[in-house]
Structure 1
Amino acid sequence: MSDKITIAGREVGTTGFGLMAFTGRPFIIPDAEIFASINTSLSHGANFFVSGEFYGLRDPADNLHMLKRYFTAHPEAVDKVVLSVKAGMNWVTRTPDSSPAALRASIDNILEKTGRDRIDVFCIARVDKTIPLEESYKVVKEYIDTGKIGSFCPSECSAETIRKAVDILGKENISCVELEVSLWATEIFENGVAEVCEEFGIPIAAYSPLGRGFLTGQFKSADDLPEGDMRKHFDRFKPENFDKNLRLVEMVEGIAGRKGCTSSQLGLAWVRQVGGRWGKGGLKIILIFGATKQAQVAENLQSVELTDSEMDEIDGILKSFKPTGGRYFGHLEGMLYQ
């Protein structure tokens, strides 16, 4: 498969960069460190950036203000980056809000905070079951028609919702679908989502390809998570589930050791390559990884190719292993694949 994918009329690499970790921590990361990591990503061709209106809620220490500071300091990067921004959530109530008024307010807010005149990709984070899709997508289409949005990306939605989005907006206006895909998040290959994306030629923007860090092997027990870390609330990181899920990490580490690469590189390679082995072999996947340290970014961007026999071995592991606990927790879990 090609190492380039077209998003909003522009070419991006098959690896993209998720920005949430820069402003989603209980501490401030200096701009110099952030900008160095972003520049490393760009220098390796990972130019599809994923941000969110709710990635950090402390103005001006949020993701959108961070991006404006970055583009101000590095104007040469403006035309290199293809930017996707998620919205459509009321972060106070932790519930979706895709009402026309909320979407208009979000789009205008994103444009103002980033200082850009266009959002390359506008993404609705979760399906709002209280608002008909036609009403939400009508607003999206308005902004596409005025040139303020380049394209649309539904997120964590069902195959039925993707089909409706194609019907309402037209396939040409849907650039990708954002979904969690990793060695412990393979549901899209079973619930029809991957199938419909391959059918329409819509790329999948695969976020959390390392299970929010779990699959890197850096955590050996639930106690290794720092205080205040959001992951402590996630079901798979809970003490009663942690050791059961660590089995997958241990099996992956065995293959990585023989391969001579890190567990992270192995997990990322699987996500990069799985689309070419699934279905008719034409599923396009843009791997979206996140990292805050320049060295981590460089490590994750080192190309590792898995052989067919290694992919077969991993497939065998996945058939024998089922993660314990949901990907999120509580009502957030119920928002998936709507």
Structure 2
Amino acid sequence: METRTLGSSGPTVSTIGLGCMGMSEFYGTPDETRAKDTLQRALDLGVRFFDTADMYGPFTNEKLVGRLLEPYRNRVTLATKFGIVRDEKGGMHGLNGRPDYVHEACNASLERLGTDHIDLYYLHRVDPDVPIEETVGAMGQLIDAGKVRYIGLSEAASDTIRRAHRERKITALQTEYSLWSRDPEDDILDTVRELGIGFVPYSPLGRGFLTGRFESPEDLPEDDWRRHNPRFQGENFQKNLDLVDAVKQMAAEKEVTPAQLALAWVLHQGDDIVPIPGTTRPEHLEDNVAATEIELSADDLDHLDDIAPKGAAAGDRYPDMSTVDG
């Protein structure tokens, strides 16, 4: 697989990474054996960029990813996140960006991952009660201590990114971006490119919706978090299904899958973009990796703009958007 560099001086990673969240919760019942097979297949196919977070599981995803990647640790870029506080039973306890918590969370992640350093450490969500300079300043101390190599933000607004970057160099911004989540085009992409910050889209397949696998909300497992997502509910679901049907039609004409077309669109938005589609199945991973070989013409991109212009998706991205930095 070809590689891309995150930002002006960040790590060089595989063109796409692998989001590991669904291997532990949110998208149905976890299957550790299948997760192991998926991670191994990713390595076989040249994926070298893996993304997790302390709150996934909670706490179990870091342990899983760290254990399975341990033999390959020096060959991969491992990213994790902190800032969304959960307890062992999964309860949510808000956001925490206090400097003392930055150090506490990092030490705990290092232990769970079984490593002496984190390649890319993100603030998962911006804590509105703590100046971003204080949080990022503490993250910078982790670099000075050798515990972290690069730092990043997730779902941060442009002003927050600029303030953070003045305090300490930010290497990457992770934010949802896909054919049905194009908000970063308003100003986020311009900001990170001006500052030399890499852009890492999560959910580039619209949480699986853009794969064309879902015909109704009932296709989701009972314990799947997406049943609570506004875009997967009621009238929103049907409106979004119409969008996906148009993607499916174009994909059929190009003899690719809808997932490959949607992911290829993200990859064509710039060489500084490294999406991290999540999956728990080796066959879906293979489908995603194949998208790196798809060429889209200017006419193809224009057609996709017509199919899915900014604001085309119905419904908010989360049931509660208050934790997304505005």
Smaller-chain TM-score range?
over 0.9
1:187 equivalent in structure 2:
183
1:221–1:239 Cα contact (<8 Å) kept: no
1:20–1:55 Cα contact (<8 Å) kept: yes
Q: Distance in 2 between matches of 1:67 and 1:322?
A: 35
AA aligned opposite 1:223: E
Q: 1:5 aligned to 2:5?
A: yes
2:30 equivalent in structure 1:
28
Report Cα offsets for 1:125-183 as digits up to 9, x if no partner: 1110001112211211111101101111100011111111110003xxx2210010100
Change (3 A) 1:52 1:98: same
Report Cα offsets for 1:268-305 as digits up to 9, x if no partner: 000000226xxxxxxx1001111111111111100222
1:280 equivalent in structure 2:
none
2:85–2:93 Cα contact (<8 Å) kept: yes
Cα offset, 1:103, TM superposition: 1.6
Q: 1:84 aligned to 2:86?
A: no
1:6–1:12 Cα contact (<8 Å) kept: yes
2:4–2:274 Cα contact (<8 Å) kept: no
2:224 equivalent in structure 1:
229
Q: Distance in 1 between matches of 2:205 and 2:10?
A: 29
Q: Distance in 2 between matches of 1:320 and 1:167?
A: 30
Q: Distance in 2 between matches of 1:137 and 1:285?
A: 23
AA aligned opposite 2:117: R
Q: Distance in 2 between matches of 1:273 and 1:104?
A: 37
Q: 1:204 aligned to 2:203?
A: no
Cα offset, 1:36, TM superposition: 2.1
Q: How does 1:1-338 map to 2 (within 5 A)?
A: 3-6=3-6, 10-25=11-26, 26-31=28-33, 33-57=34-58, 62-72=60-70, 75=71, 77-91=72-86, 92-93=91-92, 95-170=94-169, 174-190=170-186, 192-275=187-270, 284-302=272-290, 303-319=293-309, 322-330=312-320, 333-338=321-326
Question: Which gives a bigger RCO, structure 1 or 2 (Cα 8 Å, sep 6+)?
Answer: 2
AA aligned opposite 1:67: V
Cα offset, 1:11, TM superposition: 1.8
Q: Distance in 1 between matches of 2:117 and 2:310?
A: 46
Q: Secondary structure at the match of 1:334?
A: helix
AA aligned opposite 2:244: V
Percent sequence identity over aligned pairs: 33
2:22–2:30 Cα contact (<8 Å) kept: no
Q: Distance in 2 between matches of 1:207 and 1:271?
A: 11
Q: Distance in 2 between matches of 1:138 and 1:200?
A: 18
Which sits farther off after the overlay, 161-170 or 36-45? 36-45
1:100–1:135 Cα contact (<8 Å) kept: yes
Structure 1: 5+ residue stretches without partners: 277-283
Q: CA RMSD in A?
A: 1.7
Q: Distance in 1 between matches of 2:159 and 2:208?
A: 30
2:97–2:130 Cα contact (<8 Å) kept: yes
Q: Secondary structure at the match of 1:205?
A: strand
Q: Secondary structure at the match of 2:274?
A: strand
1:248–1:321 Cα contact (<8 Å) kept: no
1:159–1:196 Cα contact (<8 Å) kept: yes
Change (3 A) 1:320 1:336: closer
Q: Distance in 1 between matches of 2:277 and 2:308?
A: 21
TM-score (norm 1): 0.89
Report Cα offsets for 1:6-61 as digits up to 9, x if no partner: 57753212211100011014533133x2222112212322211110001102x6xx
1:84–1:121 Cα contact (<8 Å) kept: yes
Cα offset, 1:81, TM superposition: 1.1
Q: Secondary structure at the match of 2:39?
A: helix
AA aligned opposite 2:4: K
Q: Secondary structure at the match of 2:277?
A: strand
AA aligned opposite 2:154: S
